[in-house]
Chains A and B, each alone.
Chain A
């Protein structure tokens, strides 16, 4: 069960992730004015930020070890940071620098850190079968490691999701499938795309235990993930968890979100970090002072990572030809 020390750690990690993404958002937009050009500036390209979804990453990763694997989706920063991917190298990658995780070849949708068995894919649901294969390798080698496939609720309508569930269940592999249900597949609402309210029911088609977790509450997410991870480590096979969360910002930066209407204001009120902060304050686990120092510490780490990225050299143009083949 979640104890009070863990709650403070969860809070710190969520603040760390939010602080990071707020800083990325600031720098992403800083030099795209006055004419907004997606390809311009220090951070070019699409940018999918995860604000609101921190409880999923934090509750999940508190159950994982370095040797466990995650395949994430196009919106990967919260998962990467919570898994333990080095913030400086990740930031340098997002800034397209030679010191980045992939020497600037991957960018924000293609973060690879083999030391943390972390990867992500920009193609919906298609990272999920890869996690099945990582679990197959763990199982073959007799380790107790698990693989986690994370995707959005839109991805659960894609074939890759269903094939991955079927294989993992058939072979009883240590996989945890996490569906982050933030209600929106870009601009398409869940109700427009998915005929059932509880997507975890789909696991029954594959003979797999599952649960839907409402509330976007890191404590509840931790508990559900713990059950799934323990089952997988013990050889009990895969689990599907659909976690109802919230997307506070646009699908990508620059998304005006006119399609969300009043729902957006309601979502903003459900920002999980202030809500959790309030609970921990009321329980006496945090004080105004400790909150201030947690936030200052996060700022310090984040700004150091961004400064590192900005000070790092760009790759040589001719490096574009490296690493096509091993």
Chain B
């Protein structure tokens, strides 16, 4: 089930938001221990549609609207998970982690280790990430590297509906805490400009996509472009545009933890050229970790220096011209590929 998505194939095409809520519904039907908790996850269906339709099917006892008490309800999710339930908890915006990070990194992520493996925390903590619509500094960050830096959490960030459904099913079945980050731009929201790739073919039946395996949605031989989440859609647009002139291999990491280092190394060994596209902050993050992965293994596999298209080390600005100055865009990706091909 890890084949690249063919958005034109199959009968049914749905948004990423619908794909996520469908995965949760299927897991809830299969397992009475699965429940959903968070702000506006009930009748509203999640601010970004991740829990659409669940309240109607499962009711208020399994789809619980919480007060604005992130420390309280994330902690409650941990407690329920410790007792063997499988909560899916929504934090809404990743930017809100500051009010509840202790529960996340000191409790959710560490209890299994601190207990010497005797206690499991099978919990999904999902949240929206990303910008591009002028929501400014406190509602637009990605921050996957922040979670990935702390041991004990898997960190998943799908780029399309098919992967989102299969990764959510895997996340709920996983015995570990899983941070599930959906970029607002990939959700296919009716109230936000979207890439056509945010709506795609999704099987109605249950399936899983393994956490920790990258996908290669656009194979190529000249240059490796590694990305994750929303930026993958931009990379694919550019790769398709360059077909016939440059053969671009796009790697969609799908998860930051575990990081599929083998997929990156295998591709760079083949192309010798690496572009990294990351909407999270440039310094001390995913793009640096990928460069370190190459350097640790064999720096000589690179024919040219690495090109990083990452978020500059500035808070996310509000004005459209300022925000797009900072965001990874198709133009920047194309320019980075051109620079890598020059060497």
Which residues of A approach B to under 8 Å, CB–CB? 69, 71, 100-106, 110, 112-114, 117, 119, 121, 123, 126-138, 140, 147, 159-160, 163-164, 166-167, 170, 322-326
Tell whether A102 pairs with B69 under 8 Å between CB atoms, given A121-B106, A133-B77: no
Size range of the interface on B? 35 or more
Contact with A along B53-89 (1 / 0, CB 8 A): 0000000010000110101111111111111110100
Residues of A within 8 A of B107 (CB): 121, 123, 126-127, 130
A103-B117 Cα distance, complex, nearest whole Å: 9
A133 touching B78 by the CB < 8 A rule? yes
The list of the 3 closest CB pairs from A to B, nearest first, reads A133-B79, A129-B75, A163-B72
A5 to B35, alpha carbons, bound, how many Å?
Answer: 45
Contact B69–A166 (Cβ < 8 Å):
yes
Tell whether B45 is near chain A: CB-to-CB under 8 Å. no
Q: Is the CB of B79 within 8 A of A131?
A: yes
Quick one: closest B residue to A103, CB to CB? B116
Chain A residue with Cβ nearest B72 = A163
Name the residue of chain A whose CB is nearest to the CB of B120.
A326
A229 → chain B closest CB, angstroms: 18
Would B72 and A100 count as touching, CB distance under 8 A? no
Contact in complex: A105, B102 (CB < 8 Å): no
Is there contact, CB below 8 Å, between A326 and B72? no
In the complex, which of the residues A71, A112, A128, A131 contacts B118, with contact meaning CB atoms closer than 8 Å?
A: A112
B119 within 8 A of A: yes
Residues in B with CB closer than 8 Å to A326 are 112, 117, 120, 122, 175-176
* B75 x A130 contact (CB < 8 A): yes
19 contacting pairs across A/B (C-beta < 8 A):
A69-B83, A106-B115, A112-B116, A119-B115, A119-B119, A121-B106, A129-B79, A130-B76, A132-B79, A133-B87, A136-B80, A160-B75, A163-B73, A167-B67, A167-B72, A323-B115, A326-B112, A326-B122, A326-B176
Contact partner of A101 among B112, B118, B152, CB < 8 A?
B118
In the bound assembly, the distance between CA atoms of A100 and B61 in angstroms comes to 39
Bound Cα distance A160, B75 (Å): 9
Q: What is the CA–CA distance of A112 and B69 in the complex, to the nearest angstrom? A: 26
- Please, how many angstroms separate the alpha-carbon atoms of A127 and B118 in the complex? 18
Nearest CB in chain A: distance from B79 CB, A:
2
**B271 interface hit (Cβ, 8 Å):** no
Residues on the A chain within 8 Å of B77, using CB? 133
Interface centre among A114, A137, A159 (most CB of B within 10 A): A137
Distance A135 CA – B82 CA, assembled complex (angstroms) = 11
Give the residue among A130, A135, A322 with the most B Cβ atoms within 10 A: A130
Tell yes or no: B196 within 8 A of A by CB: no
A102 touches B115 (CB 8 A): yes
Chain A residues with CB under 8 A of B84:
137
Known: A137-B79, A137-B84. A101 touches B116 (CB 8 A): yes
Q: Are A133 and B76 in contact (CB under 8 A)?
A: yes
Please list the residues of chain B having a beta carbon within 8 angstroms of any beta carbon in chain A: 35, 61, 66-67, 69, 71-85, 87, 102-103, 106-107, 111-120, 122, 151-152, 154, 175-176
Contacts of B35 in A (CB 8 A): 140
> Closest B-chain residue to A104, C-beta based?
B116
- Nearest residue in A to B122 (C-beta to C-beta)? A326
Task: Report chain A residues within 8 Å CB of B69.
Answer: 163, 166-167
Determine how close the nearest CB of chain B comes to the CB of A154; give it in whole angstroms: 16
Which A residue sits closest to B32, measured CB to CB? A140
Residue contact A160 to B114, C-beta cutoff 8 Å: no
In the assembled complex, the CB of A80 is this many whole angstroms from the nearest CB of chain B, namely 13
Q: With A and B bound together, what is the CA distance between A322 and B152 in angstroms?
A: 11
Contacts of B82 in A (CB 8 A): 114, 119, 130, 133-134
Contacts A136-B76, A137-B84, A323-B112 known; 9 new A-B pairs at CB < 8 A: A101-B116, A103-B117, A112-B114, A112-B115, A117-B83, A126-B75, A129-B76, A133-B79, A160-B72
B75 near A128 with CB under 8 A, answer yes
Shortest CB-to-CB span from B124 to chain A, Å, is 14
CA distance A44 to B114 in the complex (A): 16
A64 smallest CB distance to B (angstroms)? 16
B106, A123: Cβ atoms closer than 8 Å: yes
Nearest A residue to B84, CB-CB? A137
- Nearest B residue to A173 via CB reads B76
Residue contact B75 to A132, C-beta cutoff 8 Å: yes
| A134 surroundings in chain B (CB, below 8 A) | 79-80, 82-83
A138 to B79, CA, bound (A): 10
Find chain A residues with CB under 8 A from B117 CB: 103, 322-323, 326
Are the CB atoms of B83 and A133 closer together than 8 Å? yes
CB distance from B123 to the nearest CB of A (A): 10
In angstroms, how far is the closest chain A Cβ from the Cβ of B177?
A: 9
B contact residues around A103 at 8 Å (CB) = 116-117
A110 pairs with B114, CB closer than 8 A:
yes
B153 to chain A, nearest CB (A): 9
